[in-house]
Amino acid sequence: MMSVLADQKILVTGGAGFLGRQVIAQLHQAGVHPDNISVPRSRACDLRSLRACEQAVVGQNIVIHLAAHVGGIGLNQAKPAELFYDNLMMGTQLIDAAYRAGVEKFVCVGTICAYPKFTPVPFQEEDLWEGYPEETNAPYGIAKKALLVQLQSYRQQYGFNGIYLLPVNLYGPEDNFDTHSSHVIPALIRKVHEAQTAGDSQIEVWGDGQPTREFLYSEDAARGIVMAMQHYNQPEPINLGTGFELSIKDLVTLICELMAFEGEIIWQTDRPNGQPRRGLDIAKAKAQFGFSAKVDLAQGLQQTIAWYRQQTEQL
């Protein structure tokens, strides 16, 4: 497989992001020559433009579409229209441009937010259309889910080889720690760190702590994406996760323990919880292309915390 991949031209949208960097590292390990990997940057290549998409896919054998306008509950509440439009336009135009340019394979990375709000746990891929997504992230989730329909339609009509992956909540070093748009793990790490730095004896956390989540370390997610690129060629979506679900309350407790924070947790129960539960059935990824996560949550959190602390010390 390494010799086969050596000459492949691969476009990685979002390749400069925290997941994208890990995907590129995994591509290198799989034998792809660094010169054969293209990473369009948003400043010069706005994928919301059809022309930009057409230019980006020229001469490419494989497209891995990671680029997304994404964030936590706060961003989803503040900018639902932008999240819907940007993600739909980037994806749908890139898929069409890739097909028309003769790209051999399209790997689309979707989102756990596409699942219905009250999906039975563990989420199975067949449940994807059994209801409406959780309201606060529905515009983002539906925009990304539409790309699955497009890929399946292009496969049926044109024979275009597009696959669709559903990673659970991601985290890891180089994640987005911005206070206005970060997801739960980087947001909590930053809150605890800033409380410790300021000498505060408490932190505030959105919701009541009851919802559950599953988290996948970015390096594991990247490995799963590259494995699917190499070995999976079917129209059905595939979950990528760990199979380990825990409550937000337990997550907060774990992060506080790892960061040696003994202050009080103030639950902001007037703030939204988001989807009640998230936990994936991961059997198909294991069966179809041999993927299983290697990094457990405590280990991944320790590495993420260490990276964040190092960055703040350098400022």
Secondary structure class of 86 (helix, strand, coil): helix
The answer to whether residue 53 sits within a structural domain is yes
Where residue 151 sits, what CATH number does that domain have?
3.40.50.720
Number of structural domains in the chain: 1
DSSP designation for 49: S
Q: Tens digits of per-residue pLDDT, 34-52?
A: 999 999 987 889 999 999 9
Euclidean distance between CA atoms 121 and 113, whole angstroms = 14
Euclidean distance between CA atoms 141 and 134, whole angstroms = 9
Q: Is the pLDDT of residue 314 over 90?
A: no
Q: Is the pLDDT of residue 1 over 60?
A: no
Its domain, for residue 13, covers: 2-172+214-244+278-296
The answer to whether residue 12 sits within a structural domain is yes
The yes-or-no answer on residue 140 being catalytic is: yes
Compare 159 and 75 and report the one with higher pLDDT: 159
Q: How far is CA 99 from CA 57, 106, 230, 278, 280, in A?
A: 9, 9, 19, 33, 31
The answer to whether residue 11 sits within a structural domain is yes
Q: 85, 99, 132, 140: which is the annotated catalytic residue?
A: 140
Q: Say what the pTM is.
A: 0.95
The answer to whether residue 197 sits within a structural domain is no
Q: Is the pLDDT of residue 4 over 80?
A: no
Q: Which amino acid would we find at residue 53?
A: C
Cis ω for the linkage preceding 235 (within 30 of 0): no
The answer to whether residue 263 sits within a structural domain is no
Strand 169-171 relative to strand 212-217, pairing: parallel
The answer to whether residue 202 sits within a structural domain is no
The answer to whether residue 57 sits within a structural domain is yes
| Nearest partner of 32 among 234, 291, 229, judged by Cα | 229
Q: N- to C-terminal Cα distance for the chain?
A: 43
Q: Which residues of 289-312 are buried (b: 16+ CB within 10 A; e: fewer)?
A: bebebebebeebbebbbebbeeee
Euclidean distance between CA atoms 272 and 61, whole angstroms = 43
The answer to whether residue 273 sits within a structural domain is no
Q: Is the pLDDT of residue 301 over 70?
A: yes
Q: Tens digits of per-residue pLDDT, 267-289?
A: 999 998 888 999 999 999 999 99
Q: Tens digits of per-residue pLDDT, 107-162?
A: 999 999 999 999 999 999 999 999 999 999 999 999 999 999 999 999 999 999 99
In this prediction, residue 3 carries a pLDDT of 58
In this prediction, residue 315 carries a pLDDT of 63
In the numeric block, which tokens belong to residue 300? 């991944």
Q: Is the pLDDT of residue 168 over 70?
A: yes
In this prediction, residue 2 carries a pLDDT of 55
